[in-house]
A = this chain, B = another copy of it.
Amino acid sequence: MVRVIGVGLIGAGWIGRVHAEQYQRVPQLCSLPATKVKLRAVSDVVPELAQRIAEDFGFERRYADWRELIADPEVTLVDICTPNILHREIALAAAAAGKHVFCEKPLSMSGAEGREMFEAAEAAGIRHMVNFNYRRAPAIAFAKRLLTEGALGDVYHIRGGFTQDFAADPNLPWTWRFSKATAGGGSISTMGCHAIDLARYLVGEISHLVADLTIVFPERRKKEGGVAKVDVDDSAALLLRFAGGVTGVLFTSWVAHGRKHHFEWEINASRGSLHFNSERLNELELYEASAPNDRQGFKTIYLGEPHPFGNVFGLKAGMGIGIRETFLLQVYEMLRAIVEDSPASPSFYDGWQVDRIVEAAQASSERRAWVSL
């Protein structure tokens, strides 16, 4: 018997379209036994977007109100691609209706919201996932494997940063991203959530942190004229302490000229080191301390067939996937979790933890003090 997963997508902007495409590609590229994925419904506040995505990807129906989408009995998986501020309400409604939920990052606006969403999802017994898509980059998955297998030994340090420059232009107009009320946070939230998630994924739980968040441009012009206040960080710097004494440094900025989509981290451990830069998505640098004295160096590994997900794409090392394909692998993980009835990773628990840490960073910066988690 074939299981049917009925997808209901809420939010038909760029990111929603990327998700839609992956529901189509997963059954074609990945192994998903005895399962059909159907794009049942889409909902967007902008009817034209909903119509366009429905035509392009074959969604069977459109709803003006996302509540109707959730109520649709053929929708079994709700995919949330709305602005951050709506994540909580939609996810809670979906969970209450017993629908699985795949939610864009960051999970919510605060630690309290994230916890509520996680607890509701667990209580409802649904599968839930938040889209920290870098967990699925083959280089990250391979790093995780090396760390799990002990090839790197004990971790000493993790340092990372996610820097961009899209907001370095002082004339960039104000949007909802620049308000705490609508975005929850600035660069620490929008980009830092990826860095925090990976730090937890690769190294473990964070116990303490101190943070320094800054606003470089306290006002931005409004498209409609006048200016609006910016009350979220343009940059954030964090010192982290992990359980077990590992030290960490994180940095985010969206006013860092020249850094286009630069998510970089390094791990130093007792048996070697790892270095990654998302702008070179298909590379992982590995240093093995066991190499002979005169042959030591970071090795540039091109990810491909011998590595995680190598079988999905059938690509030789050096050919390379794109960022969209990390979304494909996330959608695969979500669908796999439903099919196998086992937890997805990263779950709402992970999303909640990241939200807590973002919140703690904001509090630490305000109080000018270390905080414990």
Report A's interface with B, CB cutoff 8 A. Answer: 14, 17, 21, 24-25, 27-29, 56-57, 142, 156-157, 159, 161, 163-166, 168, 170, 210-212, 214, 216, 234-235, 237-239, 241, 245, 247-249, 251, 253, 255-262, 268-273, 275, 278-282, 286-289, 291, 293-302, 304, 306-307, 313-325, 368-370
The answer to whether B299 and A262 have CB atoms under 8 Å apart is: no
From B21, B295, B324, give the contact of A301 (CB < 8 A).
B295
Q: Bound state CA distance, A164 and B287, in angstroms?
A: 13
> What separation, in Å, do the CA atoms of A340 and B327 have in the docked complex?
33
Residue of B nearest to A142 (CB): B294
A280 contacts across to B, CB distance below 8 A: 280
Cα A1 to Cα B106 in complex, Å, equals: 44
Whether A315 pairs with B323 at a CB distance below 8 angstroms is yes
Determine which of B17, B300, B322 lies in contact with A297 in the assembled complex, contact meaning CB atoms within 8 Å: B300
Going nearest first, the 6 A-B pairs with the smallest beta carbon separation are A261-B318, A258-B287, A260-B318, A322-B322, A321-B322, A297-B299
Cβ of A227 to closest chain B Cβ, rounded Å = 18
Q: Shortest Cβ distance from A255 into chain B, in angstroms?
A: 6
Among candidates B234, B248, B269, B368, residue contacting A257 with C-beta atoms closer than 8 Å: B269
By a CB distance below 8 angstroms, the chain B residues around A248 are: 237
* Chain B residue nearest to A272 in the complex (CB): B257
A256 close to B214 (CB less than 8 A): no
A135 CB to nearest B CB, Å: 16
Please give the count of copies of this chain that the complex contains.
4
B residues near A268, Cβ cutoff 8 Å: 163, 168, 253, 255-259
Given A28-B21, A261-B317, A261-B318, residue A249 in contact with residue B247 (CB < 8 A): no
29 sampled A-B residue pairs with Cβ under 8 A: A14-B314, A17-B28, A156-B234, A156-B253, A156-B256, A157-B251, A168-B268, A168-B270, A168-B289, A214-B245, A237-B248, A257-B271, A257-B289, A258-B272, A258-B298, A260-B304, A261-B317, A261-B319, A262-B318, A280-B280, A286-B297, A295-B299, A295-B301, A296-B306, A299-B300, A315-B323, A319-B322, A319-B323, A321-B324
* Contact yes or no, A260 B314, CB < 8 A: no
CA distance A237 to B209 in the complex (A): 12
Complex Cα–Cα for A24 and B29 (A):
13
Closest chain-B Cβ to A139's Cβ sits at a distance in Å of: 12
On whether the beta carbons of A273 and B257 are closer than 8 Å, the reply is yes
Q: Which of A210, A260, A319 has the largest count of B CB atoms less than 10 A from its CB?
A: A260
Closest to A275 in B: B258
Q: Once the chains bind, are A298 and B296 in contact (CB under 8 Å)?
A: no
Contact (Cβ within 8 A) A279 B320: yes
Known: A165-B289, A279-B320. 7 other contacts (CB 8 A): A21-B28, A214-B245, A257-B289, A258-B296, A260-B302, A293-B306, A315-B324
Most B CB within 10 A of own CB, among A212, A255, A262: A212
Q: A159 CA to B266 CA in the complex, in Å?
A: 14
User: Is there an interface contact between A273 and B298, defined as CB atoms closer than 8 Å?
Assistant: no
B297 touches A302 (CB 8 A): yes
Within 8 Å CB of A313, what residues of B?
A: 322, 324
- Which one of A268, A318, A368 has the greatest number of beta carbons of chain B within 10 Å? A318
User: Across the interface, which residues of B come within 8 angstroms of A281, CB to CB?
Assistant: 320
Chain B, Cβ-Cβ closest to A321: B322
When the two chains form their complex, are residues A301 and B296 in contact, meaning their CB atoms are under 8 A apart?
yes
A249 with B237, Cβ < 8 A, contacts A156-B255, A294-B142, A295-B301 known: yes
